[in-house]
């Protein structure tokens, strides 16, 4: 609790503080900070792990970018480390082997999606902010919440351990398509599957908890249409996780059976691997894996983006000092989005030969789903209109989210049509598309959220100056990384090649007489510039990391419990909020974003402030 809050605390606050003090004595360090059931501590645990894994996943791709730009040369700085840690076989002399590239590629995707963004965007902010925003004392099931985090942690440990087993971690891409994933002889894939089952279990427990909390723990007066948009986003996200993850769990179990007990669910009849017949019983279906996987993984895309949208909506409302434009449209759109997310999955599978009828069906639903997305984006853009915008760091990130997500979304349309997807499938265009959605989209939203809620968590603001340095450098390098990839993809460069496409370039003497389709020197040259931008991006994160830790002790102290002058309930708590959150009874009288209400005393009217 900050000095300020202590000094100005009411009688109740002092009492709460007293209680908390006693509890603090009753509970050991371990129960308070490690095996805690407090949603805020769990949220910060998730956040810390999530950000750490985001950084680690980024390091993996930064290493891979070396292999793509300068194939066959020893990786500077980390090359010896790779050789020492992972063995001479996979990184001889510090040079990345193709196997290691595959390992890093698969794990980059897995770590970023399941161990980075989901915990950071959904679990961390969800845990920390949602109970505060709905005026609850904690989550509905605090112990389940703790179990959820430790299941997640255990899953992450399994994933990390798999790097160091013989043969390395999973190599079959984050999508783990069978039969490739089923027949790879190294054990990495098995670890991956077990780790995934743990992560899925964690997400399920978390989702149940979120839904129960939002449905049953809302403060008096907090009706459904008074929920802040962020809570709505988390609510829909939790539903997506709850209903979309189990099919992947089923698929994971089936693939585990394929690998461990030698069944052949996903192995077709007559499969030949390395010139040898594989002992399969016949009747397996590789497509089944893809259906089950994408039944999760498409909703997963919305799991990644919806919390980001929620965070951005909060920050935009707060920093434009006016209500979100079209709150009901936003809520309606996000509900429809969640609903439609379940029936678009096979647009990832146009190229599998699953049939034209089914492609046509999923093409239609895919284009329909772009409508609610566009409504959300439009509402957020219109919200800016006529606002007196405060350009602080969280707002800058939130503002950058809008065009970046827009680019990501619009470039998805050619992929949604199956006729243009035929050309673009599995090319760098796809990579650029979804990275525009999640990297400058969701990750910027995560940064925005960190800068925005940091004062609530610690009682101090993060440095604005370094925040802006972080923002502008990230924005520039992010675009320098991903924008050229559109060009590469349209030139025909394929994904998942450790040499960055050199085999298919004009520079390769084998392609001397190829007139059409070989990659030109310009396109190949972009590999180097992209890689350079990626490494610069890595450096650009250092201000954020230093800022994050430095500001805990040395940041500017906040003057009140509500430094951003926001309306939502999380700012009604003491700073930082004690166990049990509120030191007064919370009743909700207003809609979530009552900024600049005519006739009001301030330009913001908190939800808990009674109407005159």
Q: Is 244 in the site for other proteins (CB under 8 A)?
A: yes
Residue 292 lies near other proteins (rule: CB under 8 A)? yes
CB of 260 to other proteins, least distance (A): 8
Q: Is 98 in the site for other proteins (CB under 8 A)?
A: no
Question: Under rule CB under 8 A, which residues in 110-149 are in contact with other proteins?
Answer: 137-138, 140-142, 144
Using rule CB under 8 A, residue 33 touches other proteins? no
Report if residue 186 touches other proteins, rule: CB under 8 A: no
C-alpha 258/C-alpha 184 separation (Å) is 11
One DSSP character per residue, 282-310 reads S---HHHHHHHHHHHHHHHHHHHHHHHHH
User: What does the block give as tokens for 30?
Assistant: 């371990």
User: Taking Cα atoms as reference points, which of 76, 29, 35, 57 lies closest to residue 114?
Assistant: 57
Kind plus residue range of the DSSP H or E element containing 461? strand 460-461
Cβ atoms 375, 329 nearer than 8 A? yes
Residue closer to other proteins by CB (options 262, 559) is 262
Q: Does 26 engage in binding with other proteins (CB under 8 A)?
A: no
Is residue 487 close enough to count as binding other proteins by CB under 8 A?
no
Asked whether position 242 contacts other proteins by CB under 8 A, the answer is: yes
Q: How many angstroms separate the CA atoms of 199 and 325, rounded?
A: 37
Least distance in angstroms from the C-beta of 302 to other proteins: 12
Residue 299 Cα distances to 115, 360, 539, angstroms = 16, 20, 32
- Provide the β-strand partners of residue 461: 556
| Residue numbers 294-323 binding other proteins by CB under 8 A | 295
Nearer to other proteins, 345 or 466 (CB): 345
Minimum Å distance from CB 32 to other proteins?
Answer: 14
Q: How far is the CB of 389 from other proteins (least distance, A)?
A: 32
Within 13 Å and on the Cβ side, how many CA atoms surround 524?
18
**What is the DSSP annotation of 519-552?**
BPHHHHHHHHHHHHHHHHHHHHTHHHHHHHHHHH
Question: Does residue 271 interact with other proteins by CB under 8 A?
Answer: no
Q: Which is nearer to other proteins, 78 or 336 (CB)?
A: 336
Q: Work out whether 18 is an interface residue with other proteins (CB under 8 A).
A: no
Determine the Cα–Cα distance for residues 149 and 281; give it in Å rounded to an integer. 40
Residue from 5, 103, 236, 558 touching other proteins (CB under 8 A): that is 236
CA–CA distance, 607 with 590 (Å, rounded to integer): 5
86: its two tokens = 């992972």
**Is 412 in contact with 374 (CB distance < 8 Å)?**
no
Which segment (182-190, 203-211, 518-526, 529-537) binds other proteins by CB under 8 A?
203-211
Q: How far is the CB of 97 from other proteins (least distance, A)?
A: 28
Binding status of residue 335 toward other proteins by CB under 8 A: yes
Residue 15 makes contact with other proteins by CB under 8 A: no
Among 14, 81, 84, 253, binds other proteins (CB under 8 A): 253
Helix, strand, coil fractions of the chain, as percent rounded to 5: 70, 5, 30
Instruction: State the minimum distance, in angstroms, from the CB of residue 435 to other proteins.
Output: 28
C-beta closer to other proteins: residue 81 or 260: 260
Please choose, from the candidates 34, 51, 304, 242, the residue with its C-alpha nearest in 3D space to the C-alpha of residue 156.
Answer: 51
Nearer to other proteins, 245 or 436 (CB): 245
> How many of the other CB atoms lie within 10 Å of CB of 481?
24
CA distance 285 to 497: 27
Query: At its nearest, how many Å lie between other proteins and the CB of residue 287?
Result: 8
Where do contacts with other proteins occur on this chain (CB under 8 A)?
A: 137-138, 140-142, 144, 204, 207-209, 211-212, 215-217, 223-225, 236, 239, 242-247, 249-251, 253-254, 257, 261-265, 268-269, 279, 281-285, 287-288, 291-292, 295, 335, 338-339, 342-343, 346, 353-355, 357-358, 361, 579-580
């Amino acid at each position: 609790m900050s000095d300020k809050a202590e000094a100005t605390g009411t009688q109740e606050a002092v009492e709460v503080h007293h209680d908390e003090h006693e509890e603090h004595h009753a509970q050991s360090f371990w129960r308070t900070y490690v095996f805690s059931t407090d949603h805020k501590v769990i949220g910060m645990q998730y956040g810390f792990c999530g950000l750490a894994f985001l950084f680690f996943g980024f390091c993996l791709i930064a290493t891979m970018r070396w292999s793509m730009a300068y194939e066959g040369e020893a990786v500077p700085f980390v090359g010896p480390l790779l050789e020492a840690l992972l063995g001479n076989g996979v990184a001889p002399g510090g040079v990345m082997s193709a196997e290691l590239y595959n390992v890093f590629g698969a794990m980059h995707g897995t770590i970023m999606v399941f161990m980075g963004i989901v915990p950071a965007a959904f679990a961390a902010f969800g845990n920390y902010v949602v109970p505060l925003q709905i005026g609850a004392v904690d989550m509905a099931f605090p112990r389940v919440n703790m179990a959820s985090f430790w299941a997640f942690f255990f899953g992450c440990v399994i994933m990390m351990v798999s790097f160091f087993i013989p043969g390395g971690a999973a190599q079959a891409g984050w999508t783990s398509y069978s039969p490739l994933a089923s027949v790879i002889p190294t054990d990495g894939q098995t670890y991956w599957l077990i780790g995934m089952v743990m992560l899925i279990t964690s997400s399920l427990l978390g989702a149940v908890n979120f839904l129960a909390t939002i449905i049953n723990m809302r403060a008096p007066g907090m009706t459904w249409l008074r929920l802040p948009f962020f809570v709505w986003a988390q609510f829909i996200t939790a539903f997506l996780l709850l209903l979309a993850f189990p099919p992947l769990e089923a698929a994971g179990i089936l693939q585990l059976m394929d690998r461990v007990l030698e069944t052949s669910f996903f192995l077709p009849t007559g499969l030949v691997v390395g010139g040898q017949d594989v002992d399969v019983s016949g009747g397996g279906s590789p497509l089944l894996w893809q259906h089950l996987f994408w039944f999760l993984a498409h909703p997963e895309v919305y799991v990644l983006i919806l919390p980001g949208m929620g965070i951005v909506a909060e920050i935009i409302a707060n920093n434009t000092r006016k209500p979100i434009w079209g709150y009901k449209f936003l809520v309606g759109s996000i509900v429809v989005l969640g609903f439609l997310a379940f029936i678009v999955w096979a647009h990832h599978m146009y190229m599998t030969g699953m049939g034209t009828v089914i492609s046509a069906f999923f093409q239609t639903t895919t284009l329909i789903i772009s409508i609610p997305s566009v409504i959300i984006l439009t509402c957020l853009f219109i919200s800016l209109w006529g606002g007196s915008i405060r350009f602080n760091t969280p707002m800058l990130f939130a503002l950058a989210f809008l065009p970046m997500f827009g680019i990501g979304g619009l470039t998805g349309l050619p992929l949604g049509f199956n006729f243009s997807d035929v050309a673009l499938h599995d090319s760098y265009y796809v990579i650029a598309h979804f990275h525009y959605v999640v990297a400058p989209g969701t990750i910027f939203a995560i940064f925005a959220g960190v800068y925005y809620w940091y004062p609530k968590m610690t009682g101090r603001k993060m440095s604005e100056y370094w925040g802006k340095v972080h923002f502008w450098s990230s924005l520039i390098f992010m675009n320098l990384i991903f924008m050229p990839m559109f060009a590469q993809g349209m030139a025909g460069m394929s994904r998942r090649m450790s040499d960055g496409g050199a085999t298919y370039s004009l520079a390769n003497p084998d392609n001397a007489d190829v007139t059409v389709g070989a990659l030109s020197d310009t396109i190949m040259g972009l590999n180097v510039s992209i890689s350079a931008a990626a490494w610069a991006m890595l450096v650009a994160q250092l201000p954020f990391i230093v800022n994050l830790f430095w500001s805990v002790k040395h940041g500017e102290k906040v003057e009140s419990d509500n430094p951003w002058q926001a309306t939502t309930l999380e700012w009604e708590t003491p700073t930082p909020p004690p166990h049990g959150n509120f030191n007064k009874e919370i009743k909700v009288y207003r809609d979530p974003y009552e900024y600049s209400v005519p006739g009001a005393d301030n330009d913001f009217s908190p939800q808990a402030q009674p109407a005159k």
